[in-house]
Amino acid sequence: MNDLSCDKIHIRELRARCIVGIFPEEREKAQEVELNITLYADLRRPCRSDNIEDTVDYKCVKTRILELVENSSFFLVERLAQAVADICLDTPHVEAVTVILDKPGALRFARSVAVEITRTKYHE
């Protein structure tokens, strides 16, 4: 995937609460995470057709991601980011995805810790 060959849809600052972390206190109650997701897709057809069937239904993507995250219990933010990427890649028209997952307050003296992964549908 060449960054210039695909159009992008951004889902910015999607917040959810989940269990994520390796320490006992992190496993007791849900913590907030913030997701920034870039969906790579060829948007030329929907740009001409103005038809939802020709594009990525980002509301559906958001709903599936929130359901996953809010019901998850991963130890690593890396694994949670991969699970989000898997949902995105399972969506029609999405060719690749970049997921940035922030965990606010994960480190003392830092606003957050973030993991960024990029995955493609055809080159796993």
From the list 8, 59, 62, 103, the catalytic residue is 103
Sign of CA dihedral 105, 59, 65, 11: negative
Task: Give me the half-sphere count of Cα atoms (radius 13 Å) on the Cβ side of residue 65.
Answer: 29
Tell me whether residue 121 is one of the annotated catalytic residues. Answer: no
Task: State the Cα–Cα distance between residues 4 and 79, nearest whole angstrom.
Answer: 28
Active site positions, annotated: 103
